[in-house]
Amino acid sequence: MRLVLLGAPGSGKGTQADILKAELGVPHISTGDLLRAAVKAGTPLGLQAKAVMDAGQLVSDDIVLAMLEERISQPDAKSGFILDGYPRNLAQCKALETLLERIGQPLDVAVKLDVPSELIVERIAGRAAKEGRKDDTPETVRERLRVYAEQTEPVAAHFAEEGLLKVVDGVGELADITRRVLAALPRGGDANRLRA
């Protein structure tokens, strides 16, 4: 199963990806985690990324895509993967599709977790208070939601045009949301596999 998880910041993508990796038996790949691991390990791509970050710049899409290609070429990703947090914009989306086509692993589905913006603001503010994080104010969360709507919503629209998008209600109990995601997957995504 080759799956992209979409959703606004705070919609629960990372949480669902962690649950789904066990359910589907495929790795959860977060480009942020890949980047941090490559920099820490001092890989050739990690060193390139570190030089860019040390200069105060954003790591290029080319470097991120190369890291992604390395990761999905590993044996544990042969039967699929769950991408979380990538692609974030249409340019990344097209680059990802080109890569997956070239290596013969096209996407099976893109699942978008649909959560109302005000609920996301509440969720993140609650999490920030619990974790003592001062950077997740309602204002900064609303700005991240604005950027998501501007840059990432078009990715969902693109996947919809390709017939790959499934929109899932991301509100409710964790297990219920996971069941909805599994039910939205191609080949019926056996929702009964989720252990109660």
10-residue mean pLDDT profile of the chain (196 residues): values are 94 94 94 89 90 84 92 94 93 96 94 95 85 83 91 95 97 96 78 38
State the catalytic residue, choosing from 2, 13, 166, 179.
13
71 in active site: no
Amino acid 124: pLDDT:
86
pLDDT attached to residue 193: 40
Closest CA to 33 of 68, 75, 61, 72: 68
Predicted local confidence at residue 80, as pLDDT = 95
Active site residue 187: no
Alpha helices in the chain (DSSP H): 13-24, 31-41, 44-54, 61-72, 90-102, 117-131, 138-151, 153-161, 174-184
The helix/strand/coil state of 113 is strand
The predicted pLDDT at position 189 comes to 44
* pLDDT for the residue numbered 57: 80
The answer to whether residue 36 is catalytic is: no
The model's pTM is 0.86
Show the tokens assigned to 112: 């978008």
Q: Which of 36, 78, 127, 193 is catalytic?
A: 127
2-27+100-193 domain in CATH 3.90.1300.10?
no
pLDDT value at residue 176: 97
Q: Where are the domains of the chain?
A: 2-27+100-193
| pLDDT value of position 136 | 81
| Rounded-to-integer distance, Cα 54 and Cα 63, Å | 15
Which candidate in 21, 50, 88, 142 is catalytic?
88
Residue 167, class by beta-carbon neighbours within 10 Å (0-12 exposed, 13-18 middle, 19+ buried)?
middle
Is 127 one of the annotated active-site residues of the chain?
yes
Known catalytic membership, residue 123: no
**Computed over its alpha carbons, how large is the radius of gyration of the chain?**
17
CA angle 60, 65, 71 (to 5 degrees): 135
